[in-house]
Amino acid sequence: MRILFIGDVIGRSGRACVTAQLPGLITQWKLDLVVVNGENAAGGFGITEAIYNELIDAGADAVTLGNHAWDQREALVFIERAPRLVRPVNYPKGTPGRGAALVETKNGKRALVINAMGRIFMDPLDDPFAAVERELAACALKTGADAIVLDMHCEATSEKQSMGYFVDGRVSLMVGTHTHCPTADHRIMPGRTAFVSDVGMTGDFDSVIGMTKDEPLNRFLRKVPGGKFEPATGAATLCAIAVETDDASGLAVKVGAVRLGGILEEARPKFWD
């Protein structure tokens, strides 16, 4: 199975990048499963129903969220009628939506998509390790799903790496999101789970983690808010991770970084070109 996970989409610039590039990549690379992190897609904060549908129409098979899941209040309602929108699994019981979704892939197989949120330097949610364990016990690789993708949305690299080893050999891809800066540690772990600490963002990198530079600089220099954060609007880089799995096991056999457009150095998975 050919899997593409696209990192945190930031505002209008990031959405335009996805809608312009993803349909062509699906055809060119013969993608079977596309997962997009969309928690910053609405003006940098949260997601709306219209934007969720825009990402699905562009070719996303599932959209994951994170700590900004509810910044657009409508998400608390429409998530119930958006079966492929996945919020962190370790929110308390009774939170709207779902933390995992079993979706049909483009080649007619089954993929489980899980979203979890870390607890270091973030809101103290329920234990993400225990929550992920419950999902994997309920829907194991090969017996319940042909591929499993886990989006670990958190601040600390150590927490992402720990989750990677925790699920190694049990998921196809463990991808870190949230910090918006692509790391160079993509690899296949000993148990054949593809891993990257942070896939990066899909947004304008002439910015401070996707936001126009003036307000973040002002807050660092003066410690006084001067206004609200606004997404940068320049040409976006699409940051993603490409994974190919073995049909017999559902585990990874190839992994590569993707960076297309914008100001970052281009990267493409050589095994698909």
pLDDT one-digit tens code per residue, 242-257: 999 999 999 999 999 9
Strand partners, 151: 115, 175
Cα dihedral 117→120→121→126 (10° resolution): 50
Confidence grade of residue 235 (pLDDT, cut at 50, 70, 90): very high
CB 175 within 8 A of CB 151: yes
- With the C-alpha atoms ordered 6, 10, 12, 17, is the resulting torsion angle positive or negative? negative
Q: What 3-state class would DSSP assign to 249?
A: coil
Please determine, for residue 38, whether its predicted confidence score (pLDDT) is greater than 90: yes
Sign of CA dihedral 29, 30, 33, 36: positive
144 pLDDT higher than 90: yes
CA distance 41 to 44: 6
Instruction: Return the DSSP state at 266.
Output: P
How many Cβ atoms are within 10 Å of 5's Cβ, its own excluded? 27
Q: What's the CA gap between 243 and 186, in Å, rounded?
A: 10
Q: Which pLDDT score, from 0 to 100, does residue 18 have?
A: 98
Mean pLDDT estimate for the chain: 96
pLDDT recorded at residue 225:
84
Mean pLDDT, rounded, for 160-186:
97
Asked about 68 being catalytic, the answer comes back as yes
**Residue at 229: amino acid letter:** F
Contact 115/153 with Cβ under 8 angstroms?
Answer: yes
Cα–Cα dist 125/161, whole Å: 19
- Options 1.20.1260.10, 3.60.21.10, 3.20.20.140, 3.40.109.10; CATH for 2-205+236-260 is 3.60.21.10
pLDDT band at 124, cuts 50/70/90? Answer: confident
Q: Examine the pLDDT at 21 and tell me if it is beyond 90.
A: yes
What are the domain boundaries of the chain?
2-205+236-260
Distance of CA 192 to the CA centre of its chain: 20
User: Hey, what amino acid is at 6?
Assistant: I
pLDDT in tens, 43-94: 999 999 999 999 999 999 999 999 999 999 999 999 999 999 999 999 999 9
Q: What is the pLDDT of residue 223?
A: 86
pLDDT of 267 above 90: yes
Q: Of 68, 153, 178, 180, which residue is the catalytic one?
A: 68
The structure tokens listed for 138 are 């309920």
pTM for the predicted model, two decimal places: 0.96
pLDDT given for residue 70 in this prediction = 92
Would the pLDDT of 227 be above 90?
A: no
pLDDT of residue 186: 98
pLDDT score at 208? 95
At residue 130, the pLDDT reads 98
pLDDT for 155 equals: 95
Four-point Cα dihedral 69, 15, 121, 35, nearest 10: 80
Neighbours of 129 (CB within 10 A): 16
What CA–CA distance (Å, rounded) separates 239 from 225? 30
In whole angstroms, give the CA distance from residue 116 to residue 139. Answer: 16
Confidence of residue 228 (pLDDT cuts 50, 70, 90): confident
pLDDT tens by residue, 89-110: 999 999 999 999 999 999 999 9
pLDDT at 131 over 90: yes
CA–CA dist 33, 108 (Å, integer): 10
Which SS3 state, helix, strand or coil, does residue 188 take? strand
The sign of the dihedral angle between the CA atoms of 245, 24, 263, 43 is: negative
Annotate 39-54 with b (16+ C-beta within 10 A) or e (fewer).
bbbbbbbbbbbebbeb
